[in-house]
Amino acid sequence: MSSPIRFLLIAFALIVTGCARTPLVGDSAEATLPRQRIAPERSAELTLLQINDVYEITPAEGGRSGGLARVATLRRQLLAENPNTFTLLAGDFLSPSALGTARVDGERLAGKQMVAVLNAVGVDFVTFGNHEFDLSRDQLASRMAESQFAYISGNVFDKDGKPFPGAEPYRLIEVPAMSGDTLRIGVIGVTAPFNRADYVSYEDHTEVVKQQVGLLRPDVHILVALTHLSLAQDVALATEIPELDLILGGHEHENVQLWRGPDMTPIVKADANVRSVYVHRLRYDFETESLDTNIDLELISDEIEDDPATAAVVDEWVNRGWDGFRASGFKPEAPVATITEPLDGREAVVRNQPTTLTKLIAQGMRRAAGDVDVAIFNSGSIRLDDVLPSGVVTEYDVIRVMPFGGEVWTVEMTGGLLDSVLTQGVKNKGAGGFLQVDGAMQEDVIWFVNGEALLPRQKYRVAVNDFLVSGREQGLSYLMLDDPRMKKIEAHGDIRMAVIAELKRRYR
């Protein structure tokens, strides 16, 4: 090899080596190469684990999905990933619950089991859902006192306009950063007045959020709204109050991700009964004052192991509740029938159309009532939000379907009233007031009862669940026993017993 070529190769090697090598302390290169100082990154990270509308402490769908002991495992994993992890529940957890209707020591559990398990999971913050107010004032006060998590509510008060003891209008969370900065997060909680209990008062949730945003925005980096509102109301919040960085919602029972408003605010809701949860990983850059949000839907399935400590609490309360049901005449573990088809009790379905399950319930009511023309019940009385798979159905499954229970009544009403009720039931589509009917059908605008056009002045015998004639259903406030167009004829016992009897008859 000639000397010029050898010289060029050596020079090239020295250049490459010099470019790849980092100068070391004491190296002569320090005299000629400028020292580059890298400032610590000014950012902070936190994780929010979101759940909403949790009515059962055990898994759903035959054990395949959900289960709070599995959520506890996920929470533990998230804490290991980032100690600044907080778990938030966007309302509806004290009621309704099948287990919560069990009587233990002479009183219904009324959410006592839920609080115990949520304490074990390690929930940090909740807001009220409308069904928290299914409980009496004393029951709610007891559940709040038992809770190891904070209640955040800016617009829900007692009837005198005072906050419920233990409830906070908002909560500030502080997260330290490696740079010495402190990330401040404001959490605001609001609830829509879907349930009007006589001991509860509400302020307008939009105005409350506006006030709290005005108060908190100058002092926080991130604003989170923890809401139990309808989806349309959440969208309105994002549109009217773009300062919100994240809306964690409840009330709807199916997972939702929307970006709405002038700043495209994320609105997020998980599936009920923790079939799914959302994990929000937030990173705030103090230099640019920008927020990076990563949102993941996590399915809670039987692939996730139970957290042992939480599972032990779940087992304890299941056993206590089942003992209560036994004392009330039920045999929760007893098989009722082996069904040959799935029975769909999902809320999104039964509030919009009849299913095999709803038809079975209505026909069971007619059979229990005897000589009636029509059977009617409100879809909101079905709280299963699940599908009973083919196979053995137990008495506890029936309790899960209709945890509120109630009686089957025969009432006599005029055709004019019956027409009004049936028509309103159709208008209530999508809500709990959507009526399930057996014995009547509508063609165009005409109702037919057992194949004959409904006559306004004729009297009809109708099997109803007692709640339906309490005046508390949507659009049916007039449907009460003091209405001269209706009278009670007879009571026929617990509607769940009628369902059990129909299951046994149909699936022998």
406 and 459 together in one domain: yes
3-state secondary structure (DSSP) of residue 359: helix
Distance of CA 435 to the CA centre of its chain: 23
> Which pLDDT score, from 0 to 100, does residue 508 have?
78
> Which pLDDT score, from 0 to 100, does residue 192 have?
95
> Which pLDDT score, from 0 to 100, does residue 142 have?
97
Secondary structure (DSSP) of 67-108: -HHHHHHHHHHHHHH-S-EEEEE-S--SSS-TGGGSEETTEE
What value does the mean pLDDT of the chain take? 91
Q: For residue range 61-107, what is the model confidence (pLDDT) as tens digits?
A: 878 999 999 999 999 999 999 999 999 999 999 998 899 999 999 99
Secondary structure (DSSP) of 280-305: EEEEEETTTTEEEEEEEEEE-BTTSP
Is 443 within the bounds of a domain? yes
Is 20 within the bounds of a domain? no
Secondary structure (DSSP) of 482-497: TSTTEEEEEEEEEHHH
Largest CA distance in the chain: 119
Is 23 within the bounds of a domain? no
Q: Which domain holds residue 251?
A: 43-308
Average pLDDT over every residue of 485-503: 97
Evaluate if residue 39 carries a pLDDT over 70: no
Q: For residue range 367-419, what is the model confidence (pLDDT) as tens digits?
A: 999 999 999 999 999 988 788 989 999 999 999 999 889 999 999 999 999 99
Evaluate if residue 485 carries a pLDDT over 90: yes
254 and 365 together in one domain: no
Contact 367, 502 (CB under 8 A): yes
> Which pLDDT score, from 0 to 100, does residue 15 have?
36
Q: For residue range 233-248, what is the model confidence (pLDDT) as tens digits?
A: 999 999 999 999 999 9
- CATH code of the domain in which 480 resides: 3.90.780.10
Q: 28 falls in which pLDDT band (50, 70, 90)?
A: very low
Average pLDDT over every residue of 360-370: 98
Phi/psi of residue 46, each to 5°? -145, 160
Is 64 within the bounds of a domain? yes
Q: 21 falls in which pLDDT band (50, 70, 90)?
A: very low
Q: For residue range 451-470, what is the model confidence (pLDDT) as tens digits?
A: 999 999 999 999 999 999 99
In the block, which residue shows the tokens 């913050």?
125
49 and 167 together in one domain: yes
378 and 256 together in one domain: no
Q: 9 falls in which pLDDT band (50, 70, 90)?
A: very low
> Which pLDDT score, from 0 to 100, does residue 328 have?
87
404 and 299 together in one domain: no
Is 466 within the bounds of a domain? yes
- CATH code of the domain in which 183 resides: 3.60.21.10
499 and 375 together in one domain: yes
412 and 299 together in one domain: no
State the total domains in the chain. Answer: 2
Average pLDDT over every residue of 36-46: 68
265 and 374 together in one domain: no
Which of the two residues, 6 and 446, has the higher pLDDT score?
446
Residue type, 21: R
Is the bond preceding 96 in cis, omega lying within 30 degrees of 0?
Answer: yes
Q: 33 falls in which pLDDT band (50, 70, 90)?
A: very low
Is 293 within the bounds of a domain? yes
Average pLDDT over every residue of 27-39: 36
CA dist., res. 40 & res. 152, Å (int)? 35
Is 18 within the bounds of a domain? no
Which residue, among 434, 480, 447, 464, has the nearest Cα to 366 in the 3D structure? 464
Average pLDDT over every residue of 213-230: 97
90 and 206 together in one domain: yes
> Which pLDDT score, from 0 to 100, does residue 19 have?
36
Domain boundary residue among 308, 342, 359?
A: 308
217 and 337 together in one domain: no
CA dist., res. 293 & res. 23, Å (int)? 38
Q: Is 418 exposed, middle or buried (0-12, 13-18, 19+ CB in 10 A)?
A: buried
> Which pLDDT score, from 0 to 100, does residue 389 have?
87
What percentage of the chain has pLDDT greater than the value 70?
92
Phi/psi of residue 364, each to 5°? -65, -40
Contact 485, 416 (CB under 8 A): yes
Which residues partner with 357 through β-bridges?
none
> Which pLDDT score, from 0 to 100, does residue 24 have?
33
Domain boundary residue among 248, 274, 308?
A: 308
pTM (two decimals): 0.80
249 and 365 together in one domain: no
Average pLDDT over every residue of 287-291: 95
240 and 292 together in one domain: yes
Is 239 within the bounds of a domain? yes
What percentage of the chain has pLDDT greater than the value 90?
86
Evaluate if residue 293 carries a pLDDT over 70: yes
> Which pLDDT score, from 0 to 100, does residue 13 have?
38
Distances from the Cα of 90 to the Cα of 120, 255, 287, 335, angstroms: 18, 13, 32, 35
